[in-house]
Amino acid sequence: MPAATVCGLANGLPSVSVLPPSTSGHARAYPAESQTIQVRTGFRFRTGLRLLGGLRFITGLRFVRGFTTAGGFGSRFAALLVVGGLFSAGGMLGGSVASAETSGAAAAQISPVAVPVPPEPMQAPEMSVGQDELVVRSTMLEREQRWADVVAICETAARKGTLAPEVLQRYDLAKIHCDLGRRHCEQAFRKQLSRLAETDARRLYAEVLGRISSHHVEAPQFSRLVSRGCRTMDVAIDDPTFVSLYAPQATPERRAVYRDQVARITAGRTITSPVEAETLAAWVARAGHATLGIPPAVTLMEMTAAAVGGLDEYSAFLTNGQLDDLYAQIEGNFVGLGVELKSADDGLLVVHVIPASPAERAGIRAGDHLVGVGGRSIGGMNVDEAAQLLQGPEGSVVTLAILRAPAPARAVTVRREHVEVPSIENVRILDPAMGIGYLKISSFQKTTAADLETALRRLDVAGMRSLVVDLRGNPGGLLSSAVDVSDLFLERGLVVATRGRSPEEDFNYSASRPGTWRMPLVVVIDGDSASSSEIFAGAMRDHGRATLVGTRSYGKGSIQGIFPLEVGGVGMRLTTAKFYSPKGLPYSRVGVEPDLQVQSVARPAAGVFVAQAGDPFLDAALEVARRTVAARPVAKPVSRTTASR
């Protein structure tokens, strides 16, 4: 086994207040007149939110492949801010826009800070050996129509902007296949779609195009959005599930006629406005109805979903169920089993069991394989199909086939119950002699800041003199939560700034409340620490408040607004802005670099600290905390209570 070493490197947010429009007309600077906000706890979500996403729930389950969002304000909604991690076609969940109730904090004044112009999207570099392998593997998977696997192997590179154009097209096609299957395996979505009139579907398409036009972080190319919608319909008319539901006349001959008609409709047309895009989509919908019997509302809904999904790596169309899941995610509770899952060849792998959940009481453990649900094998089934089988009302029971090698599969009956999802975990004193406390923030939820303060008081009573905050694997969450958490450790100053194409997205979030916790901090990050995690880590770094240990963070620096739409009970996640550190540094595709880089090497290098325990990240953090605890005695917090927040 390689020895773990730590190599030194140079040093390089519970509720959001309702945000009035910024008076700044500049999206690339921190002008003095930009809106500065001080946040307080107490969310009441009903109509709009801003996300830095990353929490990954699917109706009572939690899937490893999550989503990322961060926010925006529509003309009619105050948006909830979520800054979050990573999602994939196998486990995306939705979001919504929510209004927020606040305690009426006054805006803090800050000095203007220059923000560098964010880098242009990276062009695909020349093909390297790794990219050559990606081309070969994705080509093979495409031939086998293993679309979810194409997404899985390409997603990270796509988000970092390093996919070659050939692979990028294949990746987008795979996403279309996966998104199509996900939408139409959801019963609630199918039910709503069956009742949707053509006029309402056209109004929905127009609403989405309008929001894209006014709020997307980049100026939209409507021709490309319509083209992707047509491509989605081209995929749909060959999909057996879609055809059985909506295309009763889809014979090979009629498919050919339909494709010819769509080609004639779109040939030579340049679409430069939402109105032109809506008109062309209506023509395509009529062609689908006349030749294949597809209800026009179905075609318009598919073109709506395709338009949002083709904007960038984080914008997405959200079905009815995905919106409901996001509400549960933000609240930090849901009805379900209480397990975190990811795909496996024989079904689903249990990655984590939520403490005190029905799954834990039933004896399910991390590492177990879920191979059957209700007497039905789920081997080879996609995540969304499995999720449908696991869903159910509170109080109902489900029988699971659990495999724990080397024993054979056994039947376990679990009752679906209300489950609280903690965002603060493993609170303890790591080194009683030195007074080093430890806690893990697994996500940034509605109650994270209040729960964190409760944990800090417990540690304070236990003799804490220094604190290790573990953000590894934290994909993000609420932007406001990241700001509130940062405010617990900062006396004043900028925490994060957001800048978008629309001036309505320009905000400076500031910390200024008294009673700050002043103990020395060590923050642990890794490549899966994203969005809200990066906001917290970046703020601690820029203010010199903590030592960062680990590996460079993910680099997800954009904000998605989650908006419920007026028709059909569906919603959209729309990238509306990017966010920057207090010193004006970008996060997108850059991440946060740690002060101490943790590496595993074959032999310990001369002159470096060698970690002896099984967790080199935690070893490094402990070493830093032990060196600093005597130098900076902690001051007790003053007038800092949950009620005051």
Candidates 175, 440, 446, 556; catalytic one: 556
In this structure, the number of other CB atoms found within 10 A of the CB of residue 614 comes to: 8
Q: In angstroms, what CA-CA distances link 1 with 157, 601, 606, 609, 614?
A: 29, 9, 18, 17, 11
Query: Which residues have a Cβ under 8 Å from the Cβ of 265 and sit 6 or more positions away?
Result: 280, 283, 284, 287
Distance (Å, whole) CA 639 – CA 194: 56
Does an H or E element contain 353, and which? strand 347-353
Which long-range CB contacts under 8 A does 457-462 form with residues at least 24 apart?
458/427, 459/427, 459/429, 460/636, 460/637, 462/429, 462/437
Task: Spot the catalytic one: 451, 542, 595, 619.
Answer: 542
Among 63, 71, 43, 67, smallest CA distance to 53 is for: 67
Residues 412, 388 contacting (CB under 8 angstroms): no
What is the CB-side half-sphere exposure of residue 296 using CA atoms within 13 A? 20
Please give the backbone phi and psi of residue 70, each rounded to the nearest 5 degrees, phi first: -155, -70
CA distances from 70 to 15, 51, 563 (A): 14, 3, 12
Which tokens is 132 given? 């050559």
Residue 416 contacts residue 399 (beta carbons within 8 Å): no
Q: For Cα atoms 157, 159, 164, give the angle at the middle one, nearest 5 degrees.
A: 45
CA 592 to chain centroid, in Å, comes to 18
Quote the CA–CA distance of 335 and 53 in Å, as a whole number.
Answer: 20
Element at 52 (helix H, strand E): strand 49-52
Strands 339-344, 61-63: pairing kind: parallel
Distance CA 547, CA 525 (A): 11
Helix, strand, coil % in the chain, rounded to nearest 5:
35, 20, 45
96 a catalytic residue: no
The set of residues, in sequence order, having a beta carbon less than 8 Å from that of 279 and lying 6+ positions away, is: none
- Helix runs in 216-273, H state only: 222-236, 240-246, 252-266
d(CA 82, CA 637): 28
Q: For this structure, is 132 an active site residue?
A: no
556 is a catalytic site residue: yes
Look up tokens 């030749």; give the residue: 291
153 HSE (CA, 13 A, CB side): 19
In order, the DSSP letters of 545-561 are -EEEEES------EEEE
- Rounded to whole angstroms, the Cα distance separating 587 from 534 reads 8
**Phi, psi angle pair for 327, to nearest 5°:** -55, -45
How far apart (Å, rounded) are the C-alpha atoms in residues 16 and 582? 18
| Residue 306, burial from CB neighbour count under 10 angstroms (0-12, 13-18, 19+) | buried
Q: Residue 373: beta bridge partners?
A: 376, 400
Q: Which of 138, 531, 553, 581 is catalytic?
A: 531
What is the DSSP annotation of 369-394?
EEEEETTEE-TT--HHHHHHHH---T
- Residues with catalytic annotation? 531, 542, 556
